[in-house]
Structures are given as structure tokens and as C-alpha cells.
Structure 1
Amino acid sequence: MGFLFVGTLCFLLVTPAGLAFSGQSGENAFDERAVAAFYRGRIVRVVVGFPPGGGADVYSRVIARHLGRFIPGSPTVAVTNMPGAGSIIAANHVYNSGAKDGTEIGMLNGAVILEQLFANPAVHFDMARFRYLAVPVNETYVMIVTRQANIARFSELLGVQAKQLVLGAIPNSTLEHAPILLREALNANLKVVAGYKGSADIRLAIDSGEVHGFFNPWSTIKTTSSDKFASGEWSILAQLTDQPLRDLPSSNIPAIPDLTGDADKRMLLRYGTSAPNQFGKVYMLPRAVPVDRAAALEAAFSQTFADKSFLSEAEKSKLEITPLYGAAILRIVNDFLGMPAGVKDRLKRSLKGSG
């Protein structure tokens, strides 16, 4: 039998002999019988680098409910949360001490690639050496503000009479990087309160009045907090994209890159905010996992993201699915690691030691 998923540029073909091919160009072959013999009766754990309740956790749990059906041998798939440092703790675990037999899948925030570029001493992994499986959605972050902040437009954060907005942030993530870079590039009056482990913790801080806003992917926040926008308790001031979203709760929300005509500042914002979120929720393995099992897992993600029952649950949960797979993700990672030296230096100066 055969499966061909043209829309996602990834395919799986299974021959009568049980030899399967997975990958962007079909180069990764695996023996389905051998892979099934290994996975049968086992548990595959998805290690999520964030706490329960946030977008990374929600996506992972919905995916986990379907993924096992498409892994040869039909293992049980379970989610484990390992929060901390914007998913650096989970990345270190998966890369170094985690299972290397294909029974442990990491789920990281792509923005940690900046910490590798900046030689953060907490980083003990190489993003270029993970075996990438899938990204469920290309994310666009939005700036969310509460009614209590009394700020209706992004322009109120600019200029001599600018109001100050206090934002909650997760260290080493876009939630921290974005406001710092908006201060750098646009002189926006933003104060960052970092140290939260996940967006669910930031929402609690908002409820207590500790902070009055945060950045979050629109694909996530419209799932977890649509009632906040419907009631007017929350609103959106800006979006981190050069391709404005069409389904935001209000119109005329500015796209941040449009607020500066300076090419260097636009590049700073691109590499520091929007580019890492092409792979913001990325599922990967340590490189040591046997090639056949890695190929089978990538194929399983591809089939899951094309499955009607999965897509039905994703739609009910308001989860967008616009996937990327292994080789395409690695190309983005390598492009990012090869950014111009001048941009890298300016990003490092802006982000390190700021708060």
C-alpha cells in the first residue's frame, strides 16, 4: 500500500515486503517489521520543555493521543513535562542523558537556538545535530495587553510621553527576546519581568496584577484564552510578522516590521523574533537514535498530521496545523546558525544582560 502527502512535502511509501521510505526525498528507508518488533509493547515519551497548561503542552497531548497509531508496533505515547529556562533543560536532557533508542522525543522552543549562538553556558547541545521530526505549526507571536494596563494602541508605548507596559516573560524565549528587541529597535517603553516557566504561569501573574501583558503565539492563545478577547479583558497591540494575520479579534493591528524603515533593525527583529518561530514547537530526537526508528517516527508525525480524526480534534481544540518535517526544519536551523556576523553580534549585545 502507499501514502503520499503532497501538501506537506513529505511522504511514506510501504511496499508489500514491508520496506518503508520516509523523508522529504524518500532517502530514509526503514524496515517496518523490524521497527514494529522494537516498539511493540513499549512506551514512547514526549518530553515537553514547558509546564502543563500552555500551548506546547496542549499541542503535545493532542498529538500524543494519535501518534502511536502510526508508529509501527503501536506503542503507547505519553507526555512528560520538563520545564525550565525556556526549554534549555529539556534540550540538554534529550541531547545528553535521554534515551537514545527512539523511546524519547523532545519538544523544544526553537528560540533556544539564540542561546546556542550566544554561547550561553547553560546550553549543552548543538541544534545542528538533533534529528528533527516535525513542527506542527508556523507561529506568529502577538503582543497581548490587559484592560488594567489602560493602553489601547502600540503607539502609546513610543515617544517622549510613552506609557510603560510591564510584560511577563519566559527566559531564553521569544516572550523575553521580543520586548527587549522592541526596546532596542523602536525605543518602546517596555519592562520585562522574566523567570516564569511557562505561559500558564504568566497568565496567573496577570490575574494577580504582577504583569499586564505578554507575547504569545496567536495559534496558542486563541485556543487557551479566546474568552479573554471576547470579553474585552485582553486585547492585542501588535503582531511579530511581515505577513499580517487575518483572524485577529480586531483590525488595524500593526505588524512590528512595518514600524521601522531601517533595514538593519528589520533584520534584527526578523532573526530575533519571527525567524525562530518557524520552528517554535519542534519535535526532535538525539542524533544517536537508530536511523530506521527515526525515519519511522518522522513518517508517523506526517501521517498523524494528515489523519482525519487528529485534524478533527485539532480543529475542536482550535489548534492550527501547518507542518514542516525533518529536512526542511534542518535547513531553517542551518540558515539561522549561519546568520550574518553583524546581526549575531547586535542580537547578542541587545539580549544578553537586558531585562
Structure 2
Amino acid sequence: MNATNGMRLATLALAAIVTLSCTGDGARAGTSFAGKTIIWTVPNSPGGGSGRIAQFLAPFLTKYLPGHPTISISYQPGGGSIRGANQFASHAKSDGLHLLITTGSTQLPFLLGDPRVKYDYKDWRIIMVMPTGGVVYTTPRLGIHGPSDIARLANKRLIYANQGATSLDLIPLLAFRLLGLKVEHVFGYRARADGRLAFERGDVNIDYQTTPAFLKSVRPMVESGTAIPLFSWGVLGKDGKLERDPTFPDLPNFDEVYETLRGKAPSGPEYETYMSIFTTEFLAQKMVFVPKDTPDAIVETYEAALKAITEDPDYKAEVANVLGDYRLTIGKEAQALFHRGTTIRHADRKSITRILSDYGVNLSK
């Protein structure tokens, strides 16, 4: 073997070693998305909270992922997010170029055994979790001027655009029921954004949006006087008790509204079921996944990029106003929230099955 051939073989061997190391568990530094396009599936309509999160984070991911890939957001609404999640489950590849953001409307049908669900959370790997909140609002045409007038709704005919009894709209369904409000749920809307559009058209007169969508699309209506915020769902404090949402400190939380309308603190089995579902779904409201066979190196690269994003001055300056005063989590903390958000107590499932039967929904198997 001459020296030239020997040098060529050595170079090829070194290249092979580098290639192998870039596909191993410890190769985060060798992972690059240069020239690639990442497809981020949002299983909801544009204008909703999930889309708002994807739109906000996409430029930061492009900035901090090695190789600065293009992020393409693919909206796949339908079935309260079931359609898009099903499609991701059947088509997404484990190459790091396919992301999915889920919401409570993805989790609850899975937990409640909705027959339309073809996905399984165990087939995905968690990348990040972002808790969120939400605000219930109504129209001034009902004679409401602010949260202090909520008692005036007691005898009003209220209409709500519901994207499905097993979607995240289970939360307002249970909440309105507990509050004693007379709400007609019109089922079949594709996503929360479509419920907001129905409100804008005057088809419904009470609605709720998660915080990112509220800040983007409902706050202008509030400022123009065409929407009246009533209350936020609230957040859990360190003592486990419900507190006011820090994004909406001037709005009462659900427990405060209950006490206003009912004259006592909330309690009882249905309230316990409501709080269990609320806690589970809103602490892990927005989760981002890749398919389960995605290499560790790619997952670690995403986690490193997200960690860098949370330290970015522009992110820090904008996040509260765009997404709300909530903290993006990754790593072990995200894993814990993921487990909590995809677990339901047998007693709660039984209680929800019974409650939904009052609305013509049969979850019995």
C-alpha cells in the first residue's frame, strides 16, 4: 500500500468514526439540521393557543437548533385535535424533522377511550411542556359589564361552541354545570379557534380561550368592548389551592366565581372530578413530542435549544405578553408533567362517563 492510498483509507476511517459518533447517544454536538425543514404539526385551526405557541417558538428554534433549519407549521384541525394527532402517529418519522404539539383536547379523548383515537402517548417522546391557563368571556349584549355582574347570567340562555365532550371543552362543560349556569352546548366545532369565530359572528354568547389565544385574539375584542371577561380558570399554588392566574390577576378564579354564585366554597364529588381533570390537563396543557424511536442525540439537541431559548433576552421580554406568565419545562420535570397529564384516576373516569351520559355521550365499553 502506497502512502497516498494509506492516507485515503485513514481519512475514510476517520469519517466513518465521526459519522457513527454523530448517531450515538452522546453525540448532541454532532447533530445538525443544516438545510433541513422541520414539520411541526398543530392539530388545531390557526388562531388557537397551540398554533400561537408554535408560531412564537419556531423562530427561536431556528435560531438555536444547529444548522438553523426551517420550521414549517402544518395545521391539521378536526375532531378537537384527534385528526391531526392520528395523522402524526401514522406518518411522522423518527428523524427529528417531525414535531407534534398536543393539548388537553388531545389528551382527554385518549384518557377517556374515545373510539376515534388511533394514537398512543407511549409512542411519543416528550420534548417540552408548557402549562397554560384560560379565560371565560361573554358578550355585553347580555347586560354584563364585568366579573362582578356574573350573577346576572344565572337565568340567561347561554350557548357554547363545544369541540367535543371528550375534548378540553370538558373543562367548561363541568365548570358551567357546577356553577349552575344554563348552557346549551353545540357540539361539533373543530377547535377552540372556531368557537371564538362563532362568538364573533354572534352564533354563541359565551366562550373560553386558552391564554395564548386569548391574548392574541380576544384581548382586542375586550379593548373594543365586544367581549367581557368573566373569570380565569386559575392556577394551583404551592399549597395545592387554587389561586388567581398571574397573567390575569384582576380576574377572579373559578373557585371565587363558584362562591359568588353558590354562596359557599366549592366541594363534593363532581367538584373533585373537575379539579382533578383541570389540574391534570392545565399543568401539562401544551406538550411537544417526537416519535419514540427518535435518537437520544436529537432529543438532547432539542432540549439544549429549548434551554437556550428560555435564556434568550428576546424570549424573556416577549413570552409573558404572547403566551402568558407560565414556565416552559424540559427534561425530568417535563417527564413528570407528561406522566401526570396522561394519567386519569378510575374514579374520575367513571364520574365523567356518568356526567357525559346526561349530554347523550356514551363512553361505556
Please classify the TM superposition score into its range, dividing by the shorter chain length: 0.7 to 0.9
Hey, what does 1:76 align to over in structure 2?
Answer: 70
The answer (yes or no) to whether the contact 1:237–1:253 under 8 Å persists in 2 is: no
Aligned to 1:281: 286
For 2:39, give the aligned amino acid.
R
Task: Provide the aligned length of Structure 1 versus Structure 2.
Answer: 323
**Selected match of 1:299 from 299, 304, 308:** 304
Q: CA RMSD in A?
A: 2.8
Query: Is 1:266 the equivalent of 2:271?
Result: yes
What does residue 97 of structure 2 align with? Answer: 103
Structure 2 residue 334 is matched with structure 1 residue 341: no
Q: Letter of the 1:200 partner, please give it.
A: A
The answer to which of 325-334 and 268-277 deviates more is 325-334
TM-score, length-scaled by structure 2: 0.78
Identify unmatched segments of 5+ residues in structure 1. 1-16, 21-27
Quickly say closer, same or farther: Cα 1:228–1:182, change in 2 above 3 A: same
Which amino acid counterpart does residue 35 of structure 1 have in structure 2?
T
Contact 2:134 2:210 in 1 (8 A): yes
Alignment partner of 1:67 is 2:61: yes
Percent identical: 20
Give the TM-score, by structure 1 length.
Answer: 0.80
Which residues of 2 match residues 159-178 of structure 1 at below 5 A? 162-171=155-164, 172-174=166-168, 176-178=169-171
| 1:198 alignment partner in structure 2 | 191
Cα distance in 2 for partners of 1:289, 1:85 equals 27
Q: Please give the residue correspondences for 1:182-261 in structure 2 after superposition, counting only pairs within 5 Å.
A: 182-241=175-234, 242-248=242-248, 250-252=250-252, 254-255=254-255, 259=259, 260-261=265-266
2:178, 2:287 → 1: CA distance? 28
* Residue 316 of structure 2: aligned partner: 311
Question: 1:12 maps to what in 2?
Answer: none
1:282: how far off? Answer: 1.4
Query: Does 1:116 pair with 2:101?
Result: no
CA distance in 1 between counterparts of 2:68 and 2:247 reads: 37
- Provide the rounded CA distance (Å) in 2 between the counterparts of 1:57 and 1:240: 21
Which ranges of structure 2 fall in alignment gaps of 5 or more residues?
A: 1-17, 235-241, 260-264, 361-365
Structure having the higher Rg = 2
Q: More helix per residue: 1 or 2?
A: 2
Cα distance per residue 1:279-332 (max 9 Å; x no partner): 222111111211211221122122222212333443564654511224323323
Look up the SS of the partner of 2:184 in the other structure: strand
Change beyond 3 A, Cα 1:320–1:198: farther
Q: 1:57 to 1:251 in 2, by over 3 A?
A: closer
User: Aligned ranges for residues 49-60 of structure 1 at < 5 Å?
Assistant: 49-60=43-54
